[in-house]
């Protein structure tokens, strides 16, 4: 099934959580296929909310956003190496992925566009919809636009120029060429600006329960800060990050002795979390399960690289809280330990529910630091940098005598390691990827590998796509 066909199939699956008879009705309606989701899924507030819930659920349960956004990018960067199955992950670790056989990078493209299609369908289905109140439509459209913006940020960062799909009409989308990254970012910023204006500070409530698994105003604002940072608009990046930081009623950094709690459900550091990719009450994540060894493991699955381990300063509490040393059959590995639960039994025994966290407060401090440095506000950048370091037990403040840009890069490396490719995306955003990766992987690094190849299946189904250089 080619990419467009996969996207088209997603239309009937929009209402995950809607009763099974809903999909049967969709199939039984005689109207054109591309009208079926609108006529049924968006006929009431309940089914519209279920459609949005289904779109979130599909995203969080996809291989890309449940696991590979972290694992594949950490392997491609200088964060992670495979221990148990080095041959399987060698193309990622050596940056030798290709358009035909690299399933992880292909999944990133395909899973992102499947989710974009779902959020596009929600936007289209609720626009000028008289069956649903304007206030409900406004909120759901805003959430969908924010998530569409988030997905396009990942695509552009990973692949460069990308088709800008804003419709569910396959006659249009089937042959769209790649759109320049600058134009994609313009759409991202427009989507996030509109979402921010339409959303409230409170997280949406479903069945009377409010959590941090749907977009609120702060989540859209945090995404906007990151989009402005990526495009070099330092003023707006700083301003939007500051808005999130100032919302102390919802967001606070946990103290250094509670770093193990940062990734718990509804943590005060969490700006946006995904629903469990396993089930609503599992209490554990795919990352926790996949990045750690268990009691019956014959080897650790992954280990942090020596380059990353050597970057921790003496006394850094993050080294103690977020890295686990394991020796199996005489081989020592240093496993990422941000998510500790490997299954429901472990979650229950520990009394802690973990959720995949895709936006968190510490990131906003580092966004603001980088933006303020870009504005020439060196002391403001150092203030944010030192705040994050003090939380980690590093009490000696950094001063302007150092290279502040490299200090911010270093702090992101330590604070956000193995978090959805932050290291990989940061090195590319700052133009440092060739310098860092040439030193980390001198035998295999090639500069064009900073962008993943467009999947060959997508190239075959769309003659207007042009492959990235080098593949």
Q: How many Å apart are CA 419 and CA 421, to the nearest integer?
A: 6
pLDDT at 362: 98
Quote the pLDDT of residue 103: 95
So what's the pLDDT on residue 25?
A: 28
Q: Is the pLDDT of residue 23 over 50?
A: no
Predicted local confidence at residue 39, as pLDDT: 62
Place of tokens 């290709």: 98
Residue 434, classed as helix, strand or coil, is helix
Please give the Cα distance from 250 to 196 (Å, whole number): 16
Confidence tier at 40 by pLDDT (50, 70, 90): confident
In this predicted structure, the answer to whether residue 256 has a pLDDT above a threshold of 60 is: yes
Over residues 1-24, mean pLDDT:
38
Q: Give pLDDT, residue 26.
A: 23
Mean pLDDT of 173-189: 97
Contact between residue 127 and residue 135 where contact means Cβ atoms under 8 Å apart: no
Rounded to an integer, what distance in angstroms lies between the CA atom of residue 317 and that of residue 58? 35
pLDDT digits (tens, 9 = 90+) for 77-92: 999 999 999 999 999 9
pLDDT at 36 over 70: no
Statement: residue 29 has pLDDT above 50: no
Helices (H), 174-214: 181-198
Mean pLDDT of 338-362: 95
Q: Specify the 3-state DSSP secondary structure of 188.
A: helix
Whole-prediction pTM value? 0.91
CA 147 – CA 276 distance, rounded (Å):
17
- Mean pLDDT over the full length of the chain: 91
pLDDT for 100 beyond 50: yes
Check if the beta carbon of residue 77 is closer than 8 Å to that of residue 449: no
Mean pLDDT of 269-296: 88
Residue 248 has pLDDT above 60, yes or no: yes
Cα first-last separation, the chain: 22
Report the interhelical angle of 134-159 vs 422-429 (nearest 10°). Answer: 70
| Closest among 471, 423, 429, 447 to 69, alpha carbons compared | 423
Helix, strand, coil: what percent of the chain each, to 5? Answer: 55, 10, 35
Indicate the pLDDT class of residue 208, thresholds 50, 70 and 90: low
**Residues 234-245: tens digit of each pLDDT:** 999 999 999 999
The CA distance from 383 to 35, in Å, is 54
pLDDT(296) > 70: yes
Question: SS3 for 80?
Answer: strand
Residue 46 φ/ψ region, left for φ over 0, alpha for ψ in the -120 to 50 degree band, beta for the rest: alpha
Torsion of CA 410, 411, 413, 418, to 10 degrees: 180
More confidently predicted of 32 and 263: 263
Span 104-116, pLDDT tens digits: 999 999 999 999 9
Integer Cα distance of 15 and 42 in angstroms: 9
Whose structure tokens read 């626009």?
A: 127
- Res. 20 pLDDT band, cuts 50 70 90: very low
pLDDT of residue 205: 80
What domains lie within the chain, and their CATH numbers? 1-77+95-198 (1.25.40.890)
pLDDT tens-place string over residues 121-166 = 999 999 999 999 999 999 999 999 999 999 999 999 999 999 999 9
pLDDT for residue 38: 60
Residue ranges of E strands in 207-274: 209-210, 270-273
Express as a percent the part of the chain with pLDDT over 90: 87
């Amino acid at each position: 099934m080619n990419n467009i066909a996969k996207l088209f199939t997603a239309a009937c699956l929009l209402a995950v959580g809607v009763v099974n008879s809903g999909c049967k009705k969709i199939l039984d309606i005689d109207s054109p296929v591309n009208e079926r989701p609108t006529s049924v899924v968006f006929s009431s507030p309940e089914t519209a909310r279920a459609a949005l819930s289904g779109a979130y659920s599909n995203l969080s349960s996809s291989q890309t956003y449940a696991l590979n956004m972290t694992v594949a990018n950490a392997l491609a960067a200088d964060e992670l190496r495979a221990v148990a199955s080095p041959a399987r992950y060698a193309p990622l670790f050596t940056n030798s992925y290709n358009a035909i056989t690299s399933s992880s990078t292909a999944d990133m493209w395909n899973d992102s566009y499947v989710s974009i299609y779902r959020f596009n369908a929600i936007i289209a289905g609720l626009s000028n919809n008289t069956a649903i109140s304007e206030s409900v439509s406004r909120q759901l459209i805003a959430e969908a636009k924010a998530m569409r913006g988030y997905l396009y940020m990942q695509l552009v960062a990973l692949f460069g120029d990308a088709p800008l799909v804003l419709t569910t009409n396959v006659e249009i989308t089937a042959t769209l060429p790649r759109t320049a990254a600058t134009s994609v970012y313009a759409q991202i910023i427009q989507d996030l600006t509109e979402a921010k204006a339409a959303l409230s500070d409170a997280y949406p409530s479903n069945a009377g329960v409010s959590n941090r698994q749907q977009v609120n105003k702060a989540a859209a604002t945090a995404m906007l800060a990151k989009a402005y940072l990526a495009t070099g608009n330092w003023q707006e990046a700083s301003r939007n990050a500051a808005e999130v930081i100032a919302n102390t009623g919802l967001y606070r950094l946990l103290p250094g002795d509670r770093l193990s709690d940062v990734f718990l459900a509804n943590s005060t550091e969490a700006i946006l979390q995904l629903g469990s990719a396993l089930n609503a009450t599992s209490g554990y994540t795919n990352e926790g399960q996949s990045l750690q060894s268990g009691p019956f493991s014959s080897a650790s699955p992954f280990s942090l690289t020596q380059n990353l381990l050597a970057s921790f300063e003496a006394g850094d509490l993050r080294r103690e809280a977020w890295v686990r040393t394991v020796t199996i059959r005489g081989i020592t590995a240093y496993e990422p330990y941000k998510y500790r639960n490997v299954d429901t039994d472990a979650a229950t025994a520990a009394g802690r529910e973990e959720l995949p966290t895709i936006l968190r407060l510490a990131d906003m401090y580092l966004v603001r630091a980088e933006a303020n440095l870009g504005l020439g506000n060196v002391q403001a950048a150092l203030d944010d940098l030192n705040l994050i370091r003090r939380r980690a037990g590093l009490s000696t403040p950094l001063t302007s005598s150092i290279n502040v840009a490299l200090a911010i890069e270093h702090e992101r490396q330590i604070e956000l390691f193995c978090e959805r490719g932050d290291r990989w995306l940061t090195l590319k955003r700052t133009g440092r990827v060739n310098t860092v990766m040439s030193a980390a992987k001198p035998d295999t690094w090639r500069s064009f590998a900073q962008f993943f190849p467009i999947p060959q299946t997508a190239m075959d189904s769309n003659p207007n796509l042009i492959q990235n250089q080098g593949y």
